[in-house]
Amino acid sequence: MSIFKGAGVAIVTPMKANGEVNYEKFAELIEFQIAGGTDAIIVCGTTGEASTLTHEEHLDVIKYCVEKVAGRIPVVAGTGSNCTETAIYLSTEAEKMGVDGLLLVSPYYNKATQNGLYAHFKAVADAVKIPIILYNVPGRTGGNIAPETVVRLCKEVENIVGVKEASGNISQVAKLAALAEGCVDIYSGNDDQIVPIMSLGGVGVISVLSNVAPKETHDICAKYLEGDVKGSMELQLKAIELCNALFCEVNPIPVKMALNLMGMEAGTLRMPLTEMEPANVEKLEKAMRGFGILN
């Protein structure tokens, strides 16, 4: 069973000027998402700068998100690691906090084999009872979860139910969908590929765009799921310039800047991420105005 269908936001973690997590602004961002129709909140993912949070901060942010959402929509926690024991620890703790599901990125840097990936994900899944979405993002991890491995995991491990596909390779997604025969919930991991992936049987997106445009991102998915493919496509194409601008520097640099431009005070970034180049800020502002979310 799907954890959610539609648009899940890969929510940012707002920071104070001193680099601490800004929980007051985090609460405001959560309410902004729910009011905009977001179908799920994915907390402590790449966009949430999980890689620079301490384990204590990571779990505190998850706990705070679960409490603030209070069951109104599903909360999925990013608990992946390149260390299997760390992933198990974060996953079991997140389960205790009441999350609805987990997002597990493939182990980065280690460059595990496909058998290694299978063993890693199965070990984490066996330690919890809640459903799990795998996260395939080769551009960040240095390794690809092959379609055959995804399907094997979803067929053989009861609580592994889907994958966030951010390889950018539509041919790979098509192969995955063909092999899966409906046993894998496929989520687009790229905002410019929501409609293409849904056309191959995908059930939605785990989105950066939704941070600044929750209603519009929700509507792209909702229209497609309702059978209004043309309406969904038109919204997708309208968003392309903004999607490109949100990735003109490494995520989440642009999306945090976009939220700050909107007056939502997402705050600073943790190093090694640094502030956006002025020329790219201009590109982002132009795209936001064109999309109608900045005057």
Among all residues, which ones are annotated catalytic? 135, 164
Question: Strand, helix or coil at 97?
Answer: coil
Alpha carbons within 13 angstroms on the beta-carbon side of residue 196 total 17
Q: What angle do CA 104, 140, 114 make, to 5 degrees?
A: 60
Torsion of CA 239, 47, 159, 165, to 10 degrees: 50
In this structure, what DSSP letter does residue 88 have? H
Closest CA to 133 of 246, 236, 8: 8
**Distance between CA 189 and CA 207 in Å, rounded?**
7
Residue 249's φ and ψ, nearest 5 degrees, are: -130, 170
